[in-house]
Amino acid sequence: MNIFLKRWQALGYLTAGAFLSPLDYFIVNMALPSIKKAFHASDHQLQMVVAIYGLTYAALVVCGGRLGDLYGRKKIFILGLYIFLLASLACAFSPDIRFLIISRLFQGVGASFLAPQVLASIRVLFTGNEQPKAVSIFSSVFGLASVAGQLLGGFLLNLHWREFSWELVFLVNVPITLICIIGTHFSMDNNREEKKQSIDFVGALLMIASLLMLICPVIFGRKYHWAWWIFAILLSGLVMLVIFYQYEVKSLGKNRAVLIDPILLQHQPFVLCLLIIFFYNFTAGLFICYPYYLQQFLHSNPVETGLAIIPYGAAFFLGPLIVPRIKLSPYTMTNIGLVLLIAGFSLTSIFIYLQEKPSLGTDISLFLAGLGHGIVMPVMMRQAISLISKEKAGQASGLISISIQIGSVTGGTIIGTIFFGSIELWAFPKAFALAIFIIAAVQIIGIFLNYTLHKNNKLKQTTSI
């Protein structure tokens, strides 16, 4: 087979496999009301169904990138697909909510092996001129997943095939994983870094512990009336992150394996890219709150709920495809995307506050927000990976993925907690309007970070590390 054709075919299967990671985030959000009814689950348990998946993904995605560097991206990608397949089956046949949460944890493990191999492979397989197109294709997957997750989730929940309901949102992963396993096997070489090192398991444990200590108190704080020990655990999580960083610095100084190369975190432009990625992924709060609002307050059926989110998802999908055709600087494009996010979510908040039910105005405002998201994502991902040398591609792509996931988990957790907590104080519409407005407000931080990044690049020529 022609080498040029083969690598684009490999990208197709890699992208399809990576598509599963965001798909399972969006599609499960659609199923939360059905899962709540089936297992009589609390709001905290529903948040854990979402958060444990993203948290595990975030904690292990750097390990996934490192494993790809060491043992070959093809092998680790296929291993991730097998784990994801088995975990999806376990989710579908869960006997209770606790088993489902544990199964979601293992789904996160499988997902953490997928996305890093795609970005690292793009860095290795494609030339500098081809990379923007390849990254845009990969970025569009997230928008496509948001559309597919909502529509497919609504359709499957309405299907009730052989007495299955919410279970179908997990069973749909089975044929996709099998196709990707077979396709990747025949279209991709097992590219990896020649230099072999051991894996930093201590660093991985420190990172997992710190993330758990930061996310879980936010989810369960309301349940325990924000007792003092909730804040003590949060503070301990921050301390654990500092300990993790210091451990990585010492390990690097002693020439031992590290989970995250501290040099990457000392490169200011790269870190600024990661922070912008982190904050714009607070948009994940929309996909937790909106389906719940529509189904629980407005009593919309799953198909109607799926259609309501389409304006955002469609624009999110189109954004990465438009970006390569626009000849503006990354600084300008990022600002355009962030302003669209702020305007779109602010208008959505106002429309829901005033009208309660979605309207044409809501659809237009969500489209603007989705377009902003779709513009920012590929620009920041491309800018971030361009700063890094091929030798560190796996770790860098892992850090980009972890920023996406931690942003999604943190944003989803904070916005979801505000939403569920506000329902108890105010009516549903006011609670939802507040949650959406906070998503808009957070994007202002991204504009300041982007200005700092632009100023930094003007003062000195950015180089790869």
User: Cβ–Cβ contacts within 10 Å for residue 389, how many?
Assistant: 11
**H/E stretch holding 391:** none
Cα–Cα distance, 288 to 439 (Å, whole number) = 12
Bin 162: left if φ > 0, else alpha if -120 < ψ < 50, else beta. left
Alpha carbon distance, N-terminus to C-terminus of the chain: 34
Give the residue from 53, 55, 77 showing the smallest Cα distance to 65. 77
Cα–Cα distance, 278 to 443 (Å, whole number) = 10
Cα–Cα distance, 221 to 219 (Å, whole number) = 6
pLDDT at 128 over 70: no
How confident is the model at residue 240, as a pLDDT?
Answer: 94
How confident is the model at residue 204, as a pLDDT?
Answer: 80
Highest mean pLDDT among 81-85, 158-162, 321-325, 385-389: 81-85
**H/E stretch holding 93:** none
**pLDDT for 63-104, tens place per residue?**
787 788 788 888 899 999 999 999 999 999 999 999 999 999
Burial bucket for residue 422 (CB in 10 Å: 0-12, 13-18, 19+): middle
Cα–Cα distance, 389 to 415 (Å, whole number) = 36
What is the pLDDT of the chain when averaged over all its residues?
A: 85
pLDDT at 8 over 60: yes
How confident is the model at residue 1, as a pLDDT?
Answer: 46
Residue 362 identity (one-letter amino acid): T
* Confidence category of residue 274, pLDDT binned at 50, 70, 90: very high
Residue 358 identity (one-letter amino acid): P
**pLDDT for 20-74, tens place per residue?**
888 887 788 888 888 998 999 888 888 889 888 988 887 787 778 778 878 888 8
How confident is the model at residue 225, as a pLDDT?
Answer: 83
Cα–Cα distance, 308 to 325 (Å, whole number) = 29
> Could you tell me which residues come within 8 angstroms of residue 387 by beta carbon, excluding any fewer than 6 positions away?
267, 269, 270, 273, 396, 462, 463, 464, 465
Which stretch of 162-176, 288-302, 394-408, 417-431 has the lowest confidence by average pLDDT?
394-408
Does the pTM exceed 0.75? yes
DSSP result, 304-364: HHHHHTHHHHHHHHHHHHHGGG----HHHHHHHHHHHHHHHHHHHHHHHHHHSS--HHHHH
Cα–Cα distance, 116 to 121 (Å, whole number) = 8
Cα–Cα distance, 252 to 392 (Å, whole number) = 14
Which stretch of 146-160, 373-387, 443-457 has the lowest confidence by average pLDDT?
146-160
* Confidence category of residue 209, pLDDT binned at 50, 70, 90: confident
| Residue 259 or 454, more confident | 454
Cα–Cα distance, 334 to 343 (Å, whole number) = 14
Q: Contact at 8 Å (CB) between 270 and 398?
A: no
- Token pair for 459: 């003062």
**pLDDT for 133-166, tens place per residue?**
777 777 667 667 767 777 888 888 887 666 788 8
Phi, psi of 165 (to 5 degrees): -130, -95
Cα separations (Å) of 368 from 25, 195, 290, 415? Answer: 22, 46, 16, 20
Q: How many helices (H) and strands (E) does the chain have?
A: 19, 0
Mean pLDDT for 410-428 is: 88
* Confidence category of residue 194, pLDDT binned at 50, 70, 90: low
Burial bucket for residue 183 (CB in 10 Å: 0-12, 13-18, 19+): middle
Cα separations (Å) of 269 from 135, 389, 441? Answer: 19, 14, 23
Give the residue from 315, 348, 338 showing the smallest Cα distance to 433. 348
Residue 295 identity (one-letter amino acid): Q
Mean pLDDT for 208-229 is: 85
